[in-house]
Structure 1
């Protein structure tokens, strides 16, 4: 179990070099910046390997971007301030060139609201079957803790770890919450994306976190949920496996056992 649980992380050395770009450029939709999200698209005349790089100060997140004009959403989760959004094109190997960029200013009334959005890592809509299922499970519950516990127990009781998926993964892999919901299996990246989507749809700020933990050998993904005014760690992947193996566990984890690298 421990060697099997891991998430795909994008680690890319960007060596920026000059390269002629298309005149059309990227489209930046800033209408939701006040909610902590930017929408980006790029329509190329032929398929291209593109990335979006979001930078604030010394912090940086890099994502894949489709070149067919599909609009994708990316979080602005590094606090208030100035963000630079760059669209990059692969120029061979680990070399990338700038195609277009946009600078935006973020000022959130509630810094936790950024963790309610639908973004590339946690892509959901109100009509998705798992989101409708979440509403059905939660029902008339009003308190946050029972809402969180209900979805957590649903996850660990109904989903299994997909060891067969590991050999098929690439660095471009992204979770699909609808596929995970119907197949009732996935890797930790899938578990965490689904859990985050179900809780965000219910108005509960939830993070997808990547990093390391003593519970798993290798890179891993889990959730942080805003519970009773405090961010707590919940790891439905580990607990589903522990439950199936008869190992004791608790829903809320000890922060000292987890090392965060990225959060979304």
Structure 2
């Protein structure tokens, strides 16, 4: 149960002032979210203190909004980005009931949760190397019957999935190693580096994903991943090298780029 309206109104101005003083650009919006999430005045105080200390708002609240879903996000876990909603929409357009779906580098499991919410009969598997992310994804996907595995990329997946995956979503890290230090502190300090660092040119993890993708995809199956605009030529070349047929989709509004790589029939 949320706080009473009277308590919320009396707290709102004080919270906004504290958040704004700490540099929060959208202090009013954040104050409303904190007040609607907290159950007691003590929780409000603790949430405001954590936000003022620099924790990402989603870690403070314990959830992030993604494609109109409330996704649980634990401290240290990669926060699903709004631009990744474009990746989710591209995956939704290719999914079908009873499809076999794998979400690699799943983080909180946000992408898998969106697919499960639209296609309840999916056989859904997700994997991440970060134990904190795996625990979080199990909370988000458990009610949908999703299976979440801990390990490096394909390594923890059941061997029986090979050649059966219709939709393989891999939201791989793609920030070049020497640019991680340039990320906002909320990401750089409070999210696992393994979820951000894509190696020297940002494509090291992607190369590992595409190299094995043909073994796991069903004929005509699709691999989808997010990348940056400047990485498109290299990403597409990687896809072609590994025998997949690429198509690039972009969204100017979200500044999002998705590569869709299809396995030949």
TM exceeding 0.5: no
**Which has the higher relative contact order, 1 or 2, with Cα contacts under 8 A spaced 6 or more apart?**
1
Structure that is richer in helix per residue: 2
